[in-house]
Structures are given as C-alpha cells and as structure tokens.
Chains A and B, each alone.
Chain A
C-alpha cells in the first residue's frame, strides 16, 4: 500500500522525486511492478530487475502485450491466482511463492509480495508489488530438508541397529543410573536373571547382587559418581529370581551429561558360572590326579617306609621288654631312662606315619603361608627313606632369611619328592658311579621368586628325552606311571612358578622350580 502510494505520488510529483524513486526501484535486486488486475496480469510498469529475473527486457514486459501469467509454471498458476485474488478481495497483502520459466527456459522460484490498488470507487484496478528470485533460498531449504531427512534416517537406522544389537546380544547389557536403578535391560540380561524387563525397572542393582559382593559394587558406583573412574570391571554374583546364584563378569563404562557429570552406567554382563564351574572341575581333576600320583609314590616307597617305621617299633619293643625284665628283677634305677626312650621312639614312629598320612591325604586346594626351607626339610625326611636304601646322601644347601610363600604344602612336597626320587633313580641307574650325593638348594631370585634346585649326578637328560620330558605317561623306569613330571609342572604353574631343568656341566641334571614370594602389601 505504501509502495502503491509512492507510485501514485511519483506520477504527479516533480521529476527529481520521480527519478529518485525510479533509481531506487531499478536498483532493487528483484522486480518492482504494477500490473492490471486482469486475468493475464498485464504489466504496466516493471523495474529494471525484470531482465535479470525473467530474461525479458523491462520495456517488452511492460509494453502491454506481454502476459505475465505466461511466465508462471502451469502447476503453480491456479494456486497463485487464488491466493492473490483472495488477498486483494479483502484489501489485504499477499505473499506467495511460485515458479516461473524465464526466457532461456530455466525454472526459477520467486516470491511475490503485493497488494491491490483501488480507484476512487473502491474498485481494484491494479496490483503493485515486488517479485524476488528465491531459487537459492528455496534450494537451500530443500537441501536442508533433504539432509535433515537423511540424518534422521541415519539416526533412526543407527538406533535400530543398536537396539537390535543390544536386544539380541548373547551377553547381558544393562544401563542404570549411578544410584543403581535400572534404565534399560536387554533380553539376555532378563534371561540370565530370570526377571522381566518390567520387573527389573522396579529394582536397583543392589537387589540383584549377592551380599558378599555388595560392598565392592557400592564402592565402584561411588567412585564413578565422584568422577574418579569412568570404567571398571569386576567379578560379581547375582541372585536370580528363582534364588539360584550366578557368577558374572561385569564390564562397566559411565556416560556423562552435557556438564560432564556421570549419569548412566552401561554394563556388559557375562554369565561365567559354567566357566568357573569348568575351571573348578579342572582343578578338581588336577587334584585327583596329583593325589593318585602321591598314592602311587607312597606305594613305591612302601618297603622303605615299612623299614623306617620298623626301626622305632623295634627299639620300642626292646626297651619295653628290657623295662619289664628290670622291673621284675627289682632294678628300678634305669626305668625312667627306659620310659623316656619309649616316648622318644613312639614319637619318631608317629612322625613318619604323620608324613605318610599327609602325603596320602586328598587335599583341599587351600594355600597357606609357609617357609620354603621348612617345607623342603619336611619332605627330605620322607625322601631319605628312599635315599637310605640306596646309600644316597641328600645334602641340603638352604639360603637363610627367605621371605614367605603361599602354597599348597602337600603339593610342593609332592613336587620336591618327585624331583628327589627321579634324581636318585637316575643315580642308582648308574650305580652311583658319579658319587652318591644329591643336592637340594634354595635361594631367592632377584625378581620376587624363590627357587628350589635339585641336582643329581645321574645320567642327565638326553636331547631326545628332553623334548618329551613333560609328556604324560613317558617313563624311563619299569615301575613308573610317567605322570610325576607333568603333574609337578602343572602344580608349579598353578602356583605361578616355573619348573625347568638343565644338564650339569660335569654329570647329571638339575631340576629347578620357582615360587612367587608373598608381597607384604598385597597378601593375595
């Protein structure tokens, strides 16, 4: 309306003003116009912007012959006309967009804003307005819409992939607030725990965790909340809906809100019950095998052991008989000495029996703190049963002030006894022609291990034998099972040590095994 007014004024006002307006209009980026309110919107005036917009010269377009509607895209004309007519009928402004086809045949989007111009009778005789090329804007908008659609699709697909992945994952995946309330649980997690997703949403992590793991879990959650850690993993135990307990391995990672504060923890939960069960079954089998091997060793040593027990029994019998004779003869003076001897030899027999019982026992896998030298001295007493019968001397060379170790004592006895007996067998096979001393040394290694070395003067280990030394059922002895060394090696590796061997420079072989020292700050 304002622009129409100025147009009207321009026709009546002096030329300087008219020129000024003309300059203004011609320098607009789009096309200012006035057209008749007729059907083809015959242009009466157009600014110079017309040529850039339509490709047609302004004079031609405003020459009276040109039909503006011929430029408008056939698909848009009806809507455009309706919008314009509707606006001007009520004396309002219109603001429409439609496509035109310019002189070169190129399609362009334009925005047209304008209003009707009335004569003194109120008839709308003309339309004045401004048409601008909005093709770039339109294209940008369309591109934007397209890309938005693309990204929305992308996000949707990613979400779907993630959901499908989580829901079908073979491990439990669960998210929960730092406070422990469950947000989202997957199918595997529900299956694992026996609770439905709905039930879990009413629960917190603590409800599911076995009390013995609760402290650890709470401590981890606290550390995440305080921002000390972002990820952690733990072994835990859940109590399922049916009351059964399952061992789980949990790997946790925290996500953060916009301010960087941890808000959600994503847990990956693997049921390791069967794994743990399998491991403990393997351990049990190992122990059974080790026990069988110990019994076998005791069986082989039976003659020697019987002899060893017979000695104190013979002494006891002699002292008892002598005591009786002296008592009957009224000679009491030496009876206290005799009683003393009786006790002494009973204890001696008892100690041997105890060691045999110890070796023959089926052990629990408990490990205890022990002094390596004491463990070795104990087993040497048993090995001496064998040594004596073949006149071999066991020489001990024990380092002083060794730190403690945590071991299954029976099993370490078994390993040491096995190595000693193997060594002695090797020496016997040669008729002890390289000497009759088998040496046992203990020492501390630099890297936190203790070492036990058993050096014999037997035939040594040939290269051919060395390759298969730790194979099961390999034996060079007529009565052996061939399980001693494989079992010994398994025992030592289970203790975190190594069982090795080497040939001595002169003769015989040295077998060594290592055991880790117990660190005082970490008693585990």
Chain B
C-alpha cells in the first residue's frame, strides 16, 4: 500500500476504535484514530491523504455533520461510514452528499478492508488526476498573454496567416509564439496541443 496514505478512524466507541486500529495495523495500513469529530478536526491537515472511516452516530458532532464540515473545508478524502441499526436514512443522506460507501455494524472485516482499499485507490487516482490537472493549469498559466492568444487560435485551427492578421502581427512572429507554446506546454504535434486545450477547457466547465 501507499505509505503516504493514512486511514483516519473517527469513532466514539473505544472498543470499536481499538479493534479497527489493530486490524488496520495488522494488514499494514497506517492509521490514526480519534474519539470524536472535534478531536479529528483539531489535527486536520488539508494535505492529509488517505481515507476516512466515520461512525455515523456520535455525540456532539455526528459523522454526517463532520462530512459537511470537511466538505466545506475543501477536503476530498473519500469517506466510508460505519452505521448501526436504524441508521439507514442517515446513510442514504451521507451517500447523497458524496460518501463513498457505508458499512453496517457488526461488519465482515474483509469487506471493510476491501472498501478501505477501494477508497485509498480512488483517492490515489483522484490525487494523480489533480496533480496532472494542476500541472496543466500551471503550464498554461506560464504562457504570456500573446502566447495564450496564439494557443487559443491554433487550437481553434486558425492558419498562421489568419492569426497574424487577427492579432496585427507578422506571420513570422506568430510562428515564434507557436513554437514557444509547444515548448512550454510540452507537446510536439498539433493534435497533442488540441487535446491539451480540450482538457484545459474541461477544467473550466
């Protein structure tokens, strides 16, 4: 498993917390356990990576409320809820708000571990995508205003001659800008450049 990922367990029941901790430790996952939502929020770092295992029913701040608070702070950690008898309406609500899954107590441990691993994978993929997206955004951000205009126009399929007239510059200058854009973004063909443009546009939708 990915060493950078941590399973964050939040459950008010010490026994369940202990048991989960020992199980995670045994399967080689790194974990941190918290007795309350407040305790977790106190040590919450936006850069935390991994997933959350939340008891849906807790005093003061419930698992459901914690989900809301984390979402407000921009956290995208996948959440698996632990639910008990009669918590189905709450579980449904949790799923509606984007929880990854819920699992009923008492649970089959392998099922829980599978869910946790899935969550960790999802988080990993999400993070990779985010990293790619971030890289792309920063590459585009690195272009000068004139280069961005040329990028837009090239991606639209405009001929160099047309771009030169539109921007009121020489065709030769357009060619220089175009070469700079290709280099800065890191593509060699026009087709690649167009694909990046589509991906960048998708980010803004």
Which of A's residues lie within 8 Å of B, judged by CB? 303, 306-307, 310-319, 321-322, 325-326, 329, 331, 334, 338, 341, 344-345, 348, 388-389, 391
Contacts and interface: CB of A to CB of B under 8 A. Distances in A.
Interface string B70-87: 000000000000001110
Contacts of B105: 310-311, 313-314
A389 to B, nearest CB: 7
Contacts of A314: 13, 15-16, 19, 105-107
Interface in B84-102: 84-86
B70 to A, nearest CB: 20
Interface stretch (B20-28, B137-145, B160-168, B190-198): B20-28
B59 A388 contact: yes
A312 B15 contact: yes
14 contacts: A306-B84, A307-B85, A311-B13, A311-B105, A313-B105, A313-B106, A314-B16, A314-B105, A315-B18, A315-B19, A316-B19, A322-B19, A326-B26, A344-B15
A325 B19 contact: no
B16 A311 contact: yes
Contacts of A338: 22
B60 interface: yes
B84 A341 contact: no
A307 B18 contact: no
A391 B60 contact: yes
Given A303-B85, A306-B85, A338-B22, A317 B59 contact: no
B109 interface: yes
Contact of A341 (B13, B19, B27, B57): B19
A341 B84 CA distance: 21
Given A314-B16, A314-B19, 12 more contacts: A307-B57, A311-B16, A314-B13, A315-B18, A317-B107, A318-B20, A318-B109, A321-B23, A325-B23, A325-B26, A341-B15, A345-B15
Q: 6 closest Cβ contacts across the A-B interface?
A: A318-B19, A315-B15, A321-B109, A314-B106, A306-B85, A315-B19
Contact of A311 (B15, B27, B60): B15
A312 B105 CA distance: 10
Contact of A317 (B18, B60, B106): B106
Nearest to A311: B13
Contacts of B84: 306-307, 310
Contacts of B86: 303, 306-307
A319 B24 CA distance: 11
Contacts of B85: 303, 306-307, 310
A391 B106 contact: no
A286 to B, nearest CB: 33
B160 to A, nearest CB: 66
A331 B22 CA distance: 13
